[in-house]
Structure 1
Amino acid sequence: MNEFDPTWAFRVVDVTGVLANGLLGGAVARTHRFDAVGFVVLAIASGLGGGMLRDVLLNRLPVALTDPWYLGGALVSAAVAYLLTLEGRPARRLLAVADVLALGCWSATGASKALGIGLGWMPAVMLGVITAVGGGVIRDILVNRVPAIFGGSPLYATVAVVGSVEMVLLQGAGHPEAGMALSIVTCAALGLVARRRRWMLPGPGAFSLPRPRWRPRRHPGPRRPRDRHDGAW
């Protein structure tokens, strides 16, 4: 009996994330009433931008250019978003689930690749976050929009940090498959709860230190001489 190979499951989640984020890029293109070229560009940027940016920083040929499943998935999602209007609660929920699953997969993949070439834990976490959120940032910049991870949206980059740290810890302990699985499950759970509960990081000035109140010291005045009749009784 053949043993289960977890890499295939991770690959399915990875490509599914490309499809989901490509559809999200297509939704942005529809909002701006772009033509077919705009749909393709935003789908590729949203679905593949983070991984391509990671590979460029690691001085490697982007996987999206060598594996046809990735670029093909982005093009398929662009075509679907262009031809169909994905509206309604079921479609939004399905995209949300696929998005957070990919969030964990991509953050773990970025951290693992950084560790694989000998980088430390801090740049590994950073590259994990870049892999997970870079595509959305590029997509928002292309449409002249402030990236959603900069604030005002449910936790996303913070969740990617958690997934990246988990991968760093477990790969360092010699269990990369467990790190990938834990990152996917944790990011999916945290991401969905954050969206439902609208968890956000506090804005600037949310916390403040109490201002000390300095009171000037009162110097006692000259003592009034005691009258001889005071306290006579």
Structure 2
Amino acid sequence: MDNLLYWVGLAAVAVNALTGVLDAGRKNMDIIGVVMVGGATALGGGTVRDILLDRTVFWINDQTYLVAALATTVATFFAVRGLRLPARLFLIPDAVGLALFTVVGTQIALEWQAPWLAASLLGVITGVVGGVLRDVLCNDVPLVFVRSELYASAAWAGALSLVGLQRLGVPPVLAAWCAMALIFAVRLLAIVFRITLPTYAERK
């Protein structure tokens, strides 16, 4: 399971860095701005999780994550620079990153003896905080806060499924793959069919 967590974590960092570059590119940022946005998107959620768990921040403990974030950011910047890309293109890799990071965050919290509900919420934090930082740095309302297709709720469903499957005796690796697939599928279906949660509205 540790080996899976490591490689999924690296993949999540790379994918989230890519989404940060795609979003920052729409704002015509220079390479410094893009690197800052990409790095915050890739590393932000895991950093908050580790601080809350009182453990060494993952990219300080292992600089491979930091290298992966920076390398992906710079490579993507030069690969897509000058191309005209659809505005919603980043939503697909963002869904992948959400699935990967949520499962990694939840599993790490469980291994650090966090209670199941707290562990699931730490998984959600790991999955969504990077995107929040990306949107704030790009001067957008964070995707998770506006009336949009299921986002944090998709992550939480996946995190709870990971906890539940492990409690039922499903092998951790299989439970992790099932949870990632669930998050990605729910997020993708929500995007395609415009599935949203009820919003608060005052009666006029």
Cα deviation, residue 34, structure 1: 2.1
Cα deviation, residue 129, structure 1: 0.3
Cα deviation, residue 186, structure 1: 0.7
1:190 is the counterpart of 2:186:
yes
C-alpha deviations, 1:133-163, integer Å up to 9, x for none? Answer: 0101112223333211012321111110011
C-alpha deviations, 1:154-199, integer Å up to 9, x for none? Answer: 1111110011101111233443222211111111211111111121
Q: Is the 8 A contact 1:107 1:131 kept in 2?
A: yes
Partner residue of 1:146? 141
1:111 is the counterpart of 2:114:
no
Deviates more, 1:102-111 or 1:179-188: 102-111
TM-score by length of 1: 0.75
From the superposition, tell whether residues 129 and 154 of structure 1 become closer, same or farther in structure 2 (CA, over 3 Å).
Answer: same
Length, aligned pairs only: 199
Deviates more, 1:42-51 or 1:78-87: 78-87
Q: Is the 8 A contact 2:19 2:94 kept in 1?
A: no
1:36 is the counterpart of 2:20:
no
1:125 is the counterpart of 2:120:
yes
- Segments of structure 1 that go 5 or more residues without pairing to the other structure are 1-5, 209-233
C-alpha deviations, 1:21-65, integer Å up to 9, x for none? Answer: 212211232222222221111111111111111011111111122
- Paired with 2:2 and 2:29, the residues of 1 have a C-alpha distance of 37
Give the AA of the match of 1:16: A
Q: Is the 8 A contact 2:11 2:100 kept in 1?
A: no
Q: Give RMSD over aligned pairs.
A: 2.4
- Paired with 2:106 and 2:7, the residues of 1 have a C-alpha distance of 19
Partner residue of 2:79? 84
Deviates more, 1:9-18 or 1:173-182: 9-18
Partner residue of 1:181? 177
Partner residue of 1:25? 20
Q: Is the 8 A contact 1:101 1:185 kept in 2?
A: no
1:68 is the counterpart of 2:63:
yes
Q: Is the 8 A contact 1:125 1:165 kept in 2?
A: yes
- Paired with 1:139 and 1:88, the residues of 2 have a C-alpha distance of 18
- Segments of structure 2 that go 5 or more residues without pairing to the other structure are none
TM-score by length of 2: 0.85
- Paired with 1:96 and 1:120, the residues of 2 have a C-alpha distance of 31
